[in-house]
Structure 1
Amino acid sequence: MLRSQANWNYTYNETKADVSPLDQMIDSDLTKQLLWQRGITTADQAARFLHPDLNHLHDPGLLHDIDKACLRVKEAIANKEHILVYGDYDADGVSSTAVMMEALLELGAICEFYIPNRFTEGYGPNEVAFKEAKEQGFQLIITVDNGIAAVQEAEVAKQLGIDLIITDHHEAQKDIPTAFAIIHPKCSKEYPFKELAGVGVAFKFAQHLLGYFPSQLLDLVVIGTIADLVPLVAENRVLAHFGLKAISNSNRPGIKALKKVCNIEGPITEEQIGFMIGPRMNAVGRLQEANPAVDLLLTKDMDQAVELAAFVQDVNQERQVIVSEIAKEAEQMVNETAGDADVIIVAKEGWNEGVLGIVASKLVKKFDRPAIVLSIHPQKGEAKGSARSIDAFDLFSSCMEIREHFTRFGGHAQAAGMTLPIDRIDIVRNKLHAIADRQLSPEDFKPVLSIDATTDIDALSISGIAEIEKLAPFGMGNPKPLFFVKGSVKEIRQIGSRQNHLKLTMANGQALLDGVGFGMGNLYHQISKSSMIHAVGELGINEWNGRQKVQIMLKDFEIPEWQLFDYRGVRSIEKQVAHVLPETALAIQLKEHPPRLHELSVPVLSYQEVMNQGINNAHVKDLILLEMPATLDDLSEIVADIRPERIFACYQLDGGSYLKGIPTREEFKWFYAMMLKRKQFHFEKELDKLAAFKGWSVDKIKFISKVFFELEFVKIEDGILYPISKPTKKDLTESELYQQRLQQLDLEEILYYSNYTQLKNWLQENMKAPASLKEEVMSGL
């Protein structure tokens, strides 16, 4: 047995979908089911989803204040006023800045951009930057991907005589800035779609300013839209769909240079933006000023683009090292101090603020709890950092309940940034723990996997996977479908330079399916071959040497039944059982033999000790059989009593009776007839001669002799066998020695010479649990 790491939500069981309205659009029942589960229930909706069209985008004029903002920008251009684009240092903010700059430059504006320094200024507008802008002659500031929380800064701009246009998409707080104009989907009652990324809002503003649809900017729009993890539905789906085409064919020097350092060839996918381009765009602002990232997107010079892309690549590699170091420290702190807190808060002086969001994500994944990671600044008396949450805990609303304890706070339900006085850290920790304790159940702390469909391994095909790919681009709001499959484990191995990944092959009859589990290598020793595995993952196509195969990228799996680990005959077993926990394991051997688990602290008892003394069976999950029992009944009694989750058959057999066999009744008859005829048999002189004559082993002759002696058919005097005249009639089965040999043969045949399935069947039957294997279990096999 191996339990899943996540809660599995079988979404397709919740609704008996009538997918017939989609028949005219799609042939595949599976694709129709997937669309239905995404709320697409009509042919028209399916057409819009499967075939995105730029005409599906909404009119930017529906955004509140956008007309007013456009008039002010055009007035500034006409009057040659200086315009400052005030951006943000993440991928969304960087691409938003580039979009707005390109639009303004096309209109002939005198403009520059400004990205605040994460470490000295923090996120969003700040008073010092606005005053500096005033001194440099800027009369109009346009924020992109920030500003909706800048209440005080908006007042400063007004006092300075600077008009402030805010374009943003983040959650609005209680107070709204009194800016010249605010372009924000969630602050626009007439605008139908509320989930645009910051770059999406900037693009809408650019479109309204330019007076036409600027398709040349789509290669920039797709970066922020995908990297910022906004729902890829409705307008975002359209922008991502056409953006992926645009960035794949982009002639922009910066994009070309980025693709080269990312080793991207051919069409770009949403995963390549999410895991390759986006992180590199983010990395610059995480470690220093983000200006080079904007310059990379805006440059028209290929040589400069190559130089900037190389710089971005170096910074990203540095970022990866820093993340690894801080994550290691943070995990150690959680293990040592966090205890049973429902919300993790770790803080330390010297941690790089720019990567704390990534570290928080790692803590959430490892500990399945919301996490806040803070960098302490003693000289300022404050701590600053980032937070990430689990699905069941709305971090934004929870922190808003205690907003008075933060100096600055903003974000979303699953991610946030904050600054707070050092002396408030413990207060926030305790209050968030209380909120989480009130809202969450123990099950809420496990991640949730929403399963779209169950499929049989033998039903999978290359064409079927291609059908599913029509639902791309995948992302928030339109996740890549997760499938449930099951099969027996045929092959399993660890892969990767650190052996930290898992590769296995599942079978259902003759059909095979390869699976890969990244970061699951530690589970290798907990999965036995031939076990029935239930797996959840994303289906895809793996191509190697021109050959295509369906494979599943594992997200989670379980083994619902007990497992047998067959290590019979293996001399050194420490490695095979190194992962078992001493507090939940028990090893059994024959009492007179020394223990074989020298390097482990697993308790070792004899069969008789277990049966005579009894044990606390409830805690034993792993039963390690170091040696075979004296009788089958001994083992049968133990497994029926304990019913472990895993049994490790680690015994050996030196010699044994099975290969020697047992003499036939005819052989017993022949030997006895020979004795009656000859009247005696001299062991020392005649044993080897008889063995050679009959082709018997010496052991067989000795065994026959001992059985006859026990049954009083012969007597032994001075090494010579004499038949007893008129012995009492007895059957061979009345010999205890004969019965012992039969029992030993049965024991060895069942426990040692049986195959895996036969041994598991016998153990299953004797655990008195419902048989999972259908073959009839028979004594003696």
Structure 2
Amino acid sequence: MLHADAEWIVSTAEQQQVETLQEKTGLSSIAAKFLVQRSITDIEEVDKFLKAEENQLHDPLLMKDMKKAADRIHRAVENKEKILVFGDYDADGVTSTSLLYTTLREMNAEAGFYVPNRFTEGYGPNEAAFRHAAEEGVTLIITVDTGISAVNEAETAKELNVDLIITDHHEPPPQVPDGYAVINPKQADCTYPFKELAGVGVAFKLSQALTGKLPEEFYDLAAVGTIADLVPLHGENRVLAVKGLASLKRSLRPGLAALLKRAGAEQSEITEETVGFLIGPRLNAAGRLDSADPAVELLLSRDPEEAEDLSAMIDDLNKERQTIVKEIAEEAEAMVEEQGVPSVIVVAKEGWNPGVIGIVASRLVEKFYRPAIVLSLQPEEGKAKGSARSIAGFDMFQSLSSMRELLPHFGGHPMAAGLTMKMEDVEELQSRLIRLADETMSEDDWKKKLHVDLSVGIEEISVGTIQDLSRMAPFGIGNPAPKVLLQETTVEQAKCIGSSQDHLKLTLTDEDHSHALDAIGFRMGNKMKQLSPLAKLSAVGKLSINEWNGRVKPQLIVEDMKVSEWQLFDYRGDQRYGKEEAPGRTIITFQENTDTSRLPRSWNLLSVLSPEKVSESLAEVRYAVLYDLPETISQIETVMRSMKHVEQVDAVFYEKEDYFFTALPEREQFKWFYAFMQKRKTFDFNKHAEDLARHKGWNKNAVSFICRVFSELEFVKINDGIVTLEENPEKKDLSESHTYQKHIQKSRIQQELCYSTFRSLKKQLDAMMKDGSAEMQKTEPVGGNRNGF
């Protein structure tokens, strides 16, 4: 067996609905299954989903305080008031800042922008920044992607006679700031139809309300911020993402063009993954390690040379960020493993960069599947600043909300949050979270889940079907890329690839080998040794198109895999077996005094000279090593039948003497030697055996074998190498000789177990395991008659 890393939750689609949708839309079966599984079956809904037209966007004035805010901004523009756009330092924040700042400048407003420094100012609006702005003559501050928790800062703005307009999308706290206008669709008293906009989506809506037109020129920024912030990609977010990705493919701002070039991406191939994995992380890197201003300036730049310089700086910061994340993640993982994995992970250390600990928290969740909080300790201030990430079933925002007295500053979502707290409260926070998790989480909640959209056959997969599925993009939160399940395929070929041989390349086929599909498991190279050639592999992953040297082929990007049946691994004749440590192996030996000294001492040794006496021990074996050959076929049948829970069998079948390739003397040879003895009466084996063998063209071992058989049958006596004929021996068949029978039996066993093909051996052992009676080849003993000599 090969165990999956997660529990697979497989969705099903009603076949009649699938067929009906296929007929009405012309979509492939896989694409139709995808829509049915997501309850998109009405033709109008399907059309709406696939086209994502602008008429699906709502009137921005439906949002609470939007008109009030727009009127105030217009008044400020007319009166030449100084306006400050106060942003955030992540990708959503810098795109929001760039979008609204550009809108205001195009309205001829006296506007500037300000993004706080994560390290010196922390998250969100702050009093010092507001006071400095007032000193500079600012009378209107507009926040983007931040501010919904800025209760104290709103009071400061009032004190300074500065009007504060808050635009945000994060979960509102119990007390909403008393700003001039607060625009956030998540407010309980906001009736706006769509609640899931990113910060840049709210800024896009404000821009539309200010200009009275759809700001199509900002679709690109809206898409980048929306996708990078991991908000659900349905409803308006889907429209913004679709239109934005199309805009990015048509025309790029100098800054994004330079950034894509640095990332090695092609404009014509931009997808949501380009944004999520290349653009977003680079825009985030500036604010994670230093000021986010360069990221804003990059998006605002119209000078290609300036954009090139800024992109180089940001790309370098991203590389540095990757190094720092790796180092902190390794430290954090070691701390968790040292203390044991609790219900809620909380790790903290002085010197950890607070700009990247959110990524580290995500890594911990991915590895341990536990909610995780990573904190950077700052002893000089007595504070701990951190990021939280969660798992399904544990609402991090609500959980932290229940202990606000420990958290003077925090905000976020059910799956993620940011927080600042006193260092001395860290242990108390973890204790409360663990208690809360233990009280509210079931045992099943702690198991990692992998939701599978479609169960498909290899024959259904083609370039055309994948292109059909691509019409469902962009994929992300709320509209995840469809995961498909291929059940019990045959692994036709498997190999490790990549410079470090850490990726797994597979060729999968259906049962009759009429269809094949390439599959790639990134960072799954370690599973190569856990995968037997004839295993029936089930795999979950995402379908994609691979273009290489002009060839276009479908492929599966594997996310998880499993083999549900026991697996056989062939180590027959491998003299190096046992050199590599592998935990949990049970060495099964059938013979006395078999030398197992070269095998790891940690392995369990189980002698089964009488398998039925150790059947209880065999029943618990999961990883078995069949190390030597049984004396009889029934021995190995009993062993295989007794291993009720075996997952892997390593076939070694070590044997010092080779019977199969040592020919059994023919009947005519026995007859000749007996006639020879009748004439000679005695024969000195030590002196004349080699001469006799050379004369007859035999092997000396054949002469020795014949002599031993005749001795056992009491045809001759052997004393110190002198073979003497018995007078009037009783007639006996050759098969009555133990030596003769042993050779036949050992030869047959070696033929079936040592020299059979891998496929044949697996079939034999399978049969033994299922009913205890293998379909062994019937080998008639040579000379097997009752005529005697």
Q: State which drifts further: 412-421 or 699-708.
A: 699-708
Does the alignment pair 1:534 with 2:538? yes
* Secondary structure in 2 matching 1:182: strand
Asked if 1 retains the 8 angstrom alpha-carbon contact of 2:626 and 2:651, the reply is yes
Displacement of 1:567? 1.0
Distance 1:743 1:461, change over 3 A: same
Corresponding residue of 2:416: 415
AA paired with 2:136? Q
Does the alignment pair 1:4 with 2:8? no
Does the alignment pair 1:556 with 2:560? yes
Q: State which drifts further: 320-329 or 152-161.
A: 152-161
Asked if 2 retains the 8 angstrom alpha-carbon contact of 1:345 and 1:429, the reply is yes
Distance across 1 between alignment mates of 2:634 and 2:451: 46
Equivalent positions of 1:69-80 (< 5 A) are 69-80=69-80
Corresponding residue of 1:109: 109
Asked if 2 retains the 8 angstrom alpha-carbon contact of 1:591 and 1:605, the reply is no
* Secondary structure in 2 matching 1:359: helix
Corresponding residue of 1:778: 776
Distance 1:618 1:375, change over 3 A: farther
Asked if 1 retains the 8 angstrom alpha-carbon contact of 2:21 and 2:32, the reply is no
Asked if 2 retains the 8 angstrom alpha-carbon contact of 1:588 and 1:627, the reply is yes
Distance across 2 between alignment mates of 1:123 and 1:109: 27
Does the alignment pair 1:225 with 2:226? yes
Asked if 1 retains the 8 angstrom alpha-carbon contact of 2:146 and 2:167, the reply is yes
* Secondary structure in 2 matching 1:201: helix
Corresponding residue of 1:463: 464
Corresponding residue of 1:301: 303
Displacement of 1:571? 1.1
Corresponding residue of 1:624: 625
AA paired with 1:778? M
Deviations 1:698-721 (A, max 9, x none): 322332232122112334577565
Q: State which drifts further: 180-189 or 92-101.
A: 180-189
Does the alignment pair 1:431 with 2:396? no
Corresponding residue of 2:381: 380
Distance 1:128 1:536, change over 3 A: same
Asked if 2 retains the 8 angstrom alpha-carbon contact of 1:591 and 1:607, the reply is no
Asked if 1 retains the 8 angstrom alpha-carbon contact of 2:410 and 2:420, the reply is yes
Distance across 1 between alignment mates of 2:521 and 2:394: 27
Gaps of 5+ in 1: none
Displacement of 1:427? 1.2
Q: State which drifts further: 653-662 or 468-477.
A: 653-662
* Secondary structure in 2 matching 1:296: helix
* Secondary structure in 2 matching 1:409: strand
Asked if 1 retains the 8 angstrom alpha-carbon contact of 2:618 and 2:639, the reply is no
Deviations 1:151-183 (A, max 9, x none): 221121112111111111111111111111122
Equivalent positions of 1:695-774 (< 5 A) are 695-716=697-718, 721=723, 723-768=725-770
Displacement of 1:762? 2.8
Corresponding residue of 1:650: 652
Asked if 2 retains the 8 angstrom alpha-carbon contact of 1:570 and 1:652, the reply is no
AA paired with 1:385? G
Corresponding residue of 2:784: none
Q: State which drifts further: 233-242 or 635-644.
A: 635-644
Distance 1:665 1:609, change over 3 A: closer
Displacement of 1:615? 7.4
Equivalent positions of 1:146-161 (< 5 A) are 146-161=146-161
Distance 1:591 1:134, change over 3 A: farther
Distance 1:442 1:521, change over 3 A: farther
Displacement of 1:574? 3.4
AA paired with 1:551? Q
AA paired with 1:547? R
Asked if 1 retains the 8 angstrom alpha-carbon contact of 2:361 and 2:372, the reply is yes
Corresponding residue of 2:447: 446
Q: State which drifts further: 305-314 or 742-751.
A: 742-751
Corresponding residue of 1:335: 337
Q: State which drifts further: 11-20 or 217-226.
A: 11-20
Displacement of 1:51? 1.5
Distance across 1 between alignment mates of 2:65 and 2:450: 41
AA paired with 1:235? E
Distance 1:611 1:546, change over 3 A: same
Deviations 1:597-651 (A, max 9, x none): 4555323454449876787556532222333344444444344334422111234
* Secondary structure in 1 matching 2:118: coil
* Secondary structure in 2 matching 1:707: helix
Distance across 1 between alignment mates of 2:763 and 2:147: 67
Distance across 2 between alignment mates of 1:194 and 1:693: 99
AA paired with 2:627? L
Corresponding residue of 1:398: 399
Q: State which drifts further: 8-17 or 672-681.
A: 672-681
Displacement of 1:731? 1.8
Displacement of 1:761? 2.7
Distance 1:694 1:242, change over 3 A: farther
AA paired with 2:776? M
Displacement of 1:442? 2.7
Asked if 2 retains the 8 angstrom alpha-carbon contact of 1:574 and 1:600, the reply is no
Distance 1:719 1:186, change over 3 A: closer
Distance across 1 between alignment mates of 2:610 and 2:313: 68
AA paired with 1:730? K
Displacement of 1:524? 2.6
Equivalent positions of 1:190-339 (< 5 A) are 190-265=191-266, 266-337=268-339, 339=340
Q: State which drifts further: 551-560 or 661-670.
A: 661-670
AA paired with 2:260? K
Distance across 1 between alignment mates of 2:590 and 2:357: 51
Gaps of 5+ in 2: 780-789
Displacement of 1:326? 0.6
Q: State which drifts further: 348-357 or 375-384.
A: 375-384
TM-score normalised according to structure 2 size: 0.93
AA paired with 2:535? S
Displacement of 1:14? 8.6
Distance 1:697 1:588, change over 3 A: same
Distance across 2 between alignment mates of 1:84 and 1:597: 75
Displacement of 1:23? 2.9
AA paired with 1:98? S
Displacement of 1:673? 4.8
Distance 1:630 1:769, change over 3 A: closer
Corresponding residue of 1:32: 32
TM-score normalised according to structure 1 size: 0.94
* Secondary structure in 1 matching 2:143: strand
Corresponding residue of 2:786: none
RMSD between superposed Cα atoms in Å: 2.5
Equivalent positions of 1:91-110 (< 5 A) are 91-110=91-110
